[in-house]
Structure 1
Amino acid sequence: MSESNTRLTNLIQEKVTPIAVKIGNQKYLAAIRDGMTSIIPLTIIGGFSVLLASPPVPTGLKATNFFYSFLLSWQSWATANSNILTIPYDLTIGLLAPYVLVAITYYLTKRYKMNMITNLISVLYIFFIVASPTTTIKSVEYLPQTDLSAQGMFGAMVIAIVVIEINRFFIKNKLVIKLPSSVPEGVAAPFEVLTPMITSTILFVILNAISIKYTKSYLVGIIYLLFKPFTNVSDTLPVILLLAIIAQTLWFFGIHGDNMIGSIVTPITTLNIALNLKQYQSGHAMTHIFAGSFYTVWGGWIIYPAFLLAMILFAKSARLHSLSKLAPPGTIFNINEPLVFGIPTVLNPYFYIPGTICIIINLTAAYLLTSLGILGKFYIYAPWTTPGIIQVFISSMDWKNIVLWIILFIIDLVVAIPFVRMYDHQLQKEEQVIKN
């Protein structure tokens, strides 16, 4: 590494890395990131529920072979049992906002070492005030699902943070009802949040009333509208590429890039896949490209297998040769840490340059072909350990995504080979010096 490169690296590590780490550990962003990650199992279950209830059967399909007969039988069975099959969807994607609220509240109260259950009850109560007015239909009261679904996620994030901060302010400044120390904690804790809960009630009832008067919408609906332009912009190719390049660059400097941008990307991709799933279920055209695992499945989950195959085919150095034998089981299932830390890719231009080139090619091709309607959009979350080539099909139920994955894998391999060979040649020289 040249002296100028060394100075640049040291400067970034001294000045930029601490800032990036501080942003990654920012309490609200960390709570959102961890909270959104914890609800992924719900989105997987909800997605497969809709898939069972609404199989991907083309209009006019006839039972001309065994597979088509199976699809038509599946469709007939799903139609007869739709009310039962969609229950998991209704109670997961259909009620996503309260789960997000619970998850973020959990991580914030854990960070502050506050009583979890009393604060959680407080947050849930305030959320229902501003999210879901009861509706009476035929003398029966119902909670409308709109603001409790994915559309209410951003409102849930805001309410969780604001209410917990109000509670914390009151507790920290001892503006609470404090019972004697002899009273058991289980009895004393609810009284501790009573004063801040009353304050939050008055505050949010007033804000909600103002919102209804001037916008005809509950507060959570307004919060969603405020965030909607941001989510729309994030569903564009330039923003997707920018996020990907930022993540790649952070990885280059030894910072977990995916974690850093996760607090931004995960809420958006979760919302988008939930909206796509709702549109699919209702028979409407899906509208969001940047959904579910789109970013990862067309990014590192192609690039790292291509790097690995290039190493298997051409590596002669002891390090890469041995690594190419150890890494395949993890890489197949999208566990790329053995390659990241074994190569290593940190401060390694031989992998940063081709990785950046490949991720730009991959995301651009996938985005443009999807926007043109050639490829199906993602509407199902598959477990993240599902191999990429399988995941692109499960996520979209479109076989053409498999074809594109194979083509991009070959392109990434071609891009990776010369860089892997150059790095391998350098390692061989270093190993020869050590031997001598």
Structure 2
Amino acid sequence: DNRYAFFPSAALSWKVNEEEFMQDMHSISNLKLRTSYGETGNSEINAYQADEIMGNYEVIFGGARAIGIGISRMGNPGLKWEKVRQIDFGVELGLFENRINIEFDWYRKRAMDMLLSAPVPRSSGYNEVSMNIGSMENKGVELALNTVNIRGKNFTWSTIFNISINKNKVIALSGGSDIYSGNTVIRVGEPVGSFFGRVHLGTWGTAEAEEARKYNMLPGDVKYLDLNKDGVINNNDRTIIGKGIPDGFGSFINTFQYKNWSLLVDLQYMYGNDVLDRSIHSAEDRQGIANSYKTVLNAWTETNQNTPIAQIRPINAYYTTNNDSHKITDASFIRGRNLLLSYTFNSNTLAHIKIDRLRVFGSVQNFFVATQYTGYDPEVSNSGSPFDQGFGLYDYPRPRVFMLGLNVGL
């Protein structure tokens, strides 16, 4: 019975600045060292996830319709808790009466017996089963910096900066083999849920017609890398073409105050992650009847052969489109998350109208985005699975929101 488990944890800290040998160091207002270790279990699963589920089925038996009961979900009695073991070392430092505050953390988090609805052979009669697939590691650093840059009689400027840098990789797989899930792969030594597909080299030109014919292709078709050099383009030529997990992310917030005026500039950033834009498949392949991106205006023609976009042909024309690196885009970005300007009235001004506090403000959320991503928004919706991050499919973008308001205190 694997329903029960033990998850210990411990933490230790040392306020170094309170020690006697630190009393003459007046510039250091806070110095704290801390470390912790703990184990947790993933409880975000159904209480009966390991059990088979019965369902109703309708069949034709003896020339008549019959209703029976069968197994609708494959069980796994050996299913165990997913355990996460984490160790952390941190430093907190305050300088000059805490006008400068720094927090630094190093961590290593290892997930053991990861839970996943993994695909199973169709011969089993099922599509997937919940199982413990292996181990994954996240290792990185986090830095937070809070500063009061200027503190004057009428003007104050403060800054908050933080960054998280993380490296993710799969440590081990219980079955020893890669786990494929459509557009992604879980492979030892690689980030979990890496994008998996063919390497897009462009399109075949008319001067390459003879070589293209070896691969059953025509000029104007997509040109793929023959990874294993066997003269055939198939699933054996797929490789890792990107990853949805970022290398780092954080924010940069500045607050300016001049007399009764206040200005907040909130920036957010992320880098090192890709998006697999699946909308490109239907918007550029022209085998269907979906609407197109304007990029199809750059499609292959005899006078425009240096292009990554295949020739536009009638529906069901003889050429193929696959999950490939052309659909991978660097989704690093800097976003203006919030711009807020406010004015707070003096209490003396408000005394005659019996209001204690009055603040007028205006803000713009999502006021700019700087990115190379060609879709609507680099922060795409994901599949809901931690193993499938960074998929784009006509995702509705974040709106730009304008607000005006009052804060009144009576």
Q: TM-score, normalised by structure 2?
A: 0.23
TM-score normalised by the chain length of structure 1: 0.22
Looking at both structures, which has the greater relative contact order when contacts are Cα pairs under 8 Å and sequence separation is at least 6?
1
